[in-house]
Amino acid sequence: MSESRVSEIAAPATPDTATPPGMVRLSLAEVHALTRDTLVGAGLAAPHAEAIARSIARAEADECHSHGLYRLIGYVASVRSGKAAREALPVLTRATPAVLRVDARRGFAPLAIETGVPALIEAARTYGIAALAIHDCYHFSALWADIEPAVDAGLAAWCFTVGQCCVAPAGGTKPLLGTNPMAFGWPGPQGSPFIFDFATSAAARGEIELKRRAGASIPEGWAMGPEGEPTTDPARALAGALLPFGGHKGSALSMMVELIAGPLIGDLTSRQALAAENGDGGPPLGGELFIAIDPAVFGADSLAARLAEGDALFAAAREQPGVRLPAERRYKARARGRHGVLVPATLYAELKALGAPT
């Protein structure tokens, strides 16, 4: 991508289009091109680079910066280290008419997900319920984006993946579980479906990293230090173990994700992935499980009324001051996206340097 493709807005017409100092404004097409060109330049096959570019552009459009351009650094590291397969294309097979499998062949997840999700949608429509297992992939994207196409197609959908092994079970002090995120989506209201996506750890590891850099402390209940002591010191937390959210209930959910995105589908637990890790800063190896259910199977006639009841529930929740539904912040950001997305100039410079020949 040439420098001239970065929008330069000297005198913004509205606050929406103002570019604050230290930031660069990119169109989504520019985010896509920067990602694709950088990855192709690093040696990744074009179909993978395009799928990752779509994934990163969607995250930036929703101002989900943690899964946006920042992730390009890790993707490039795992291309360069040889951890992720550069050329291997994902292969879709059927275990049963209702259970699909995509062998990602040690490639990055986005292309494997794009390969499997349309078949998942079709199988769920045919059988009412269907599952999709992505195997042997490097997953580095946001789960909400993985299920959104199925939710947009009118399905209720879940996905689960095993994260970095740094979480102690409730009551424990040593890492055993991954950050183990899960996502769920429900098809409504139109254009802004109910989708949540959260780590089953109390906080993301990156969040604690940021606190450490800022010299700040972390809240009680997030982590244990290396001696197994409760800590509010982010440095000791990073040397120790994160804790699950919500005590023993969140811990049980984390264990569930570990089991269903690991041994259930024949993929790695987070501690197995850790043992296989080369420490290049990119994503861990593992699998991802999707489940989708077609609400129409429980009565196509009544479907509109049932979706309306869901919408009424969301409306009633919003009537209570202080309640924020999952994904609302992202949809607002998405609506603003026509003016492009803001990227820190330092990150932008780092990414441009990444794309330079080595």
Residues with a known catalytic role: 66-67, 207
Task: Name which position in 272, 277, 337, 339 contacts a copy of itself (CB under 8 A).
Answer: 272
- Chain residues 131-160 in contact with a copy of itself, contact rule CB under 8 A: 131, 133, 156
Please give the single-letter amino acid code of residue 119.
Answer: A
Q: Are 91 and 105 in contact (CB under 8 A)?
A: yes
**Nearer Cβ to a copy of itself, position 118 or 246?**
246
d(CA 181, CA 201): 8
Tracing tokens 């794009």 back to the chain, one arrives at 114
Q: How far is the CB of 156 from a copy of itself (least distance, A)?
A: 6
Task: Name which position in 17, 27, 173, 217 contacts a copy of itself (CB under 8 A).
Answer: 173
Query: CA dihedral in degrees (180, 69, 139, 125; nearest 10)?
Result: 90
* CA 243, 77, 210, 194 torsion-angle sign: negative
Establish if 196 lies at the interface with a copy of itself (CB under 8 A). Answer: yes
d(CA 184, CA 151): 9
**Nearer Cβ to a copy of itself, position 12 or 219?**
219
Task: Name which position in 130, 147, 218, 243 contacts a copy of itself (CB under 8 A).
Answer: 130
Establish if 331 lies at the interface with a copy of itself (CB under 8 A). Answer: no
Residues 6 or more apart whose CB falls under 8 angstroms from that of 249 comprise none
**Nearer Cβ to a copy of itself, position 150 or 156?**
156
The β-bridge relationship of strands 129-138 and 99-103 is parallel
293: β partners: 129, 156
Looking at residue 221, the DSSP 8-state letter turns out to be: T
Residue 342 DSSP SS3: strand
Establish if 351 lies at the interface with a copy of itself (CB under 8 A). Answer: no
Q: What burial class does residue 289 get, using C-beta atoms within 10 Å of its C-beta: 0-12 exposed, 13-18 middle, 19+ buried?
A: buried
d(CA 93, CA 202): 36
Stretch binding a copy of itself (CB under 8 A), from 4-12, 26-34, 139-147, 324-332: 324-332
- Chain residues 52-111 in contact with a copy of itself, contact rule CB under 8 A: 95-99, 101
Tokens of 347: 């990150």
Task: Name which position in 275, 316, 335, 345 contacts a copy of itself (CB under 8 A).
Answer: 316
Site string for a copy of itself, 237-256 (x = CB under 8 A): --------xxxxxx-xx-xx
Helices (H) and strands (E) in the chain, counts: 12, 13
Q: How far is the CB of 335 from a copy of itself (least distance, A)?
A: 22
Q: How far is the CB of 62 from a copy of itself (least distance, A)?
A: 17
Positions touching a copy of itself (CB under 8 A) are 95-99, 101, 126-131, 133, 156, 168-174, 176, 184, 186, 194, 196, 198, 200, 245-250, 252-253, 255-256, 258-260, 262-266, 269, 271-272, 291, 293, 295, 297-299, 302, 306-307, 309-310, 313, 316-317, 320-326
